């Protein structure tokens, strides 16, 4: 098994993050530092990350968290900020599937299933992500049409989005926006391409999952039905 897939299966982090661990020289196999992503791991190999032995997790765990603002989507933070694992305290080693910005809240999955994580985050799979967005002012029909056709911001192109106006409060519009690309700061950059600011951002759906009645900072395990739905995407 390739080293990044093995580490992800151990619940260390996503495959992409595990690749970086290898490139940074933080992984040893049978006592020897490995930095090649082509490294294969066999059943009887001994694997360490930062000096700690790791092994494949045979129990797969799937958690939905209503991420609050003020925490980062990592398993640890060098700046000492709160992470999502400060809210989901279980014995199993899990990692977030993708990420939400520090000041963004809403639906976040955490798991130790590297295969499913890769499936949900890879751009080619076009998994739908639904956001509730409060925007500065009221976008015009022409601006909404631009979002629906795809926009460009700071040289980055963003694909077509599904956009609907939910309401207006104190002169600021509430939108529901569905995207599939999953680029960094995607929603904020799309709105800023219109010359407007995002005042509030919350992810409410992912791949057919809905946040439901979870309060900020609360979490629960996925149901068998929800898991089957994700795996069938």
Q: For residue range 13-31, list pLDDT tens digits in order.
A: 888 889 999 999 999 999 9
Residues 221 and 119 in one domain: yes
- Residue 28 sits in which domain range? 3-54
Distance of CA 168 to the CA centre of its chain: 29
Name the one residue in this structure whose structure tokens are 């149901």: 223
Q: Tell me the CA distances in angstroms from 45 to 6, 15, 19, 57, 193, one per residue in order.
A: 11, 19, 18, 15, 50
The span from the CA of 34 to the CA of 18, in Å, is 12
Q: Give the mean pLDDT of 183-207.
A: 96
Closest to 28 measured CA to CA, from 13, 9, 6, 11: 6
Pairing mode of beta strands 105-111, 198-206:
parallel
Closest to 206 measured CA to CA, from 98, 128, 99, 140: 128
- Give yes or no for a contact between 82 and 72, defined as CB atoms under 8 angstroms apart: yes
- Note the pLDDT tens digit of each residue in 49-101: 998 888 877 788 999 999 999 999 988 888 889 999 999 988 888 999 999 99
The count of domains in the chain is 3
Q: Give the mean pLDDT of 111-118.
A: 89
Residues 45 and 73 in one domain: no
Residues 105 and 138 in one domain: no
pLDDT at 8: 87
Our CA dihedral for 57, 87, 4, 41, rounded to 10 degrees, sits at: -30
Q: For 20, list phi and psi in degrees, rounded to 5.
A: -70, -35
Given the residues 101, 103, 141, 170, the one annotated as active site:
101
Q: Give the mean pLDDT of 111-137.
A: 93
pLDDT at 39: 94
Whichever domain contains 115, its CATH number is 3.30.70.580
**Does 101 participate in catalysis according to the annotation?**
yes
């Amino acid at each position: 098994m390739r080293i990044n897939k093995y580490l992800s299966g151990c619940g260390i982090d996503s495959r992409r993050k595990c690749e970086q661990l290898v490139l940074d020289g933080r992984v040893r196999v049978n006592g020897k530092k490995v930095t090649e992503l082509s490294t294969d791991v066999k059943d009887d190999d001994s694997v360490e990350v930062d000096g700690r032995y790791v092994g494949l997790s045979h129990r797969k765990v799937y958690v939905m968290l209503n991420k609050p603002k003020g925490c980062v989507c990592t398993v640890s933070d060098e700046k000492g900020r709160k992470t999502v694992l400060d809210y989901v305290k279980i014995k199993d080693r899990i990692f977030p599937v993708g990420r939400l910005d520090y000041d963004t809240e809403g639906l976040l999955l955490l798991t130790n299933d590297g295969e499913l994580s890769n499936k949900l985050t890879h751009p080619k799979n076009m998994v739908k992500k639904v956001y509730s967005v409060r925007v500065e002012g009221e976008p015009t029909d022409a601006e909404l049409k631009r979002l629906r056709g795809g926009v460009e911001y700071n040289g980055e192109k963003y694909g077509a989005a599904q956009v609907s106006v939910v309401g207006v409060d104190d002169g600021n519009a509430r939108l529901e926006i569905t995207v599939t690309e999953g680029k960094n700061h995607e929603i904020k950059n799309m709105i800023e391409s219109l010359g407007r600011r995002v005042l509030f951002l919350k992810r409410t759906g992912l791949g057919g999952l809905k946040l439901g009645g979870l309060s900020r900072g609360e979490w629960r395990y996925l149901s068998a039905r929800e898991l089957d739905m994700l795996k069938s995407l």
